């Protein structure tokens, strides 16, 4: 006899085996998503994190470059100073040899002195002039008095060298320094080099350098230079 409570309209149903926990956790619905690697194989290894490259320090190179630059400047300054001292010493030696006395006596007129590439001989001084120039259109009038210093200049080097009268400095009895008057030298016209020119090796020129001084000033000495920044050689004018 059939049990009415277990009767199914579809007949006897097949029985399925129990699904293990790996397919459906805790008896729940099966997980059809990503494979469960963690449960069976663990966490996959991670790639190593690269170490950032260390930045090279630039300041040692900068400091080193500054030190080298300072050394170069010091060496060049020392060389320039030695050359300047050599020129001054040469001028002083020549001056002492040409003087009538000895020791520290300053050479005077008609005494050869040297500075750098030139040998100078001051041959005359003319003072108390109110104007210079024979041409009425080029006559130059003095603010005080014109003083004309005549000299010869010889190039004692082995190549042409430039000479400028404006590099020669005149001193009065009070120690004041005077620069040449270029316009007065051009007006005077009686000079081989009124402004600037080259002197070939071995050649000698005659230069007249004109100074505008106060009327009561007394020219005492002149400092002769082969260039603007040379040591110079002093000659007494009185």
At residue 65, the 3 state secondary structure works out as helix
pLDDT in tens, 6-30: 555 555 555 555 545 444 445 555 5
Average pLDDT over residues 118-133: 96
Say what the pLDDT of residue 138 is: 84
Q: On the CB side of 235, how many CA atoms lie within 13 Å of its CA?
A: 27
Q: How far is CA 32 from the centre of its chain?
A: 82
Average pLDDT over residues 194-216: 94
pLDDT in tens, 66-93: 777 777 876 665 544 445 544 544 444 4
Average pLDDT over residues 180-207: 91
213 has pLDDT over 50 = yes
* Cα dihedral value 182, 186, 191, 197, nearest 10: 70
Mean pLDDT is lowest, of 5-19, 38-52, 110-124, 185-199, for 5-19
């Amino acid at each position: 006899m059939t049990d009415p409570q277990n009767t199914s309209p579809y007949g006897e149903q097949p029985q399925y085996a129990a699904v293990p926990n790996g397919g459906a956790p805790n008896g729940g619905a099966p997980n059809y998503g990503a494979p469960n690697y963690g449960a069976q194989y663990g966490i996959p290894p991670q790639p190593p994190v690269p170490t950032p490259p260390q930045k090279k320090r630039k300041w040692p190179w900068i400091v080193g470059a500054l030190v080298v630059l300072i050394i170069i400047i010091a060496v060049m300054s020392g060389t320039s100073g030695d050359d300047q001292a050599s020129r001054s010493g040469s001028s002083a030696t020549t001056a002492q040899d040409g003087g009538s006395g000895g020791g520290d006596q300053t050479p005077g007129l008609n005494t050869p002195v040297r500075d750098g590439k030139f040998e100078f001989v001051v041959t005359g001084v003319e003072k108390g002039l109110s104007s210079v120039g024979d041409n009425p259109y080029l006559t130059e009038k003095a603010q005080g008095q014109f003083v004309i210093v005549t000299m010869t200049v010889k190039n004692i080097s082995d190549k042409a060298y430039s000479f400028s009268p404006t590099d020669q400095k005149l001193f009065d009895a009070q120690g004041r320094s005077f620069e040449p008057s270029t316009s007065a030298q051009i007006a005077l016209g009686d000079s081989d080099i009124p402004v600037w020119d080259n002197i070939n090796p071995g050649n000698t020129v005659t230069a007249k350098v004109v100074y505008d001084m106060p009327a009561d000033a007394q020219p005492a000495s002149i400092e002769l230079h082969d260039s603007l920044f040379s040591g110079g050689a002093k000659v007494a004018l009185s």
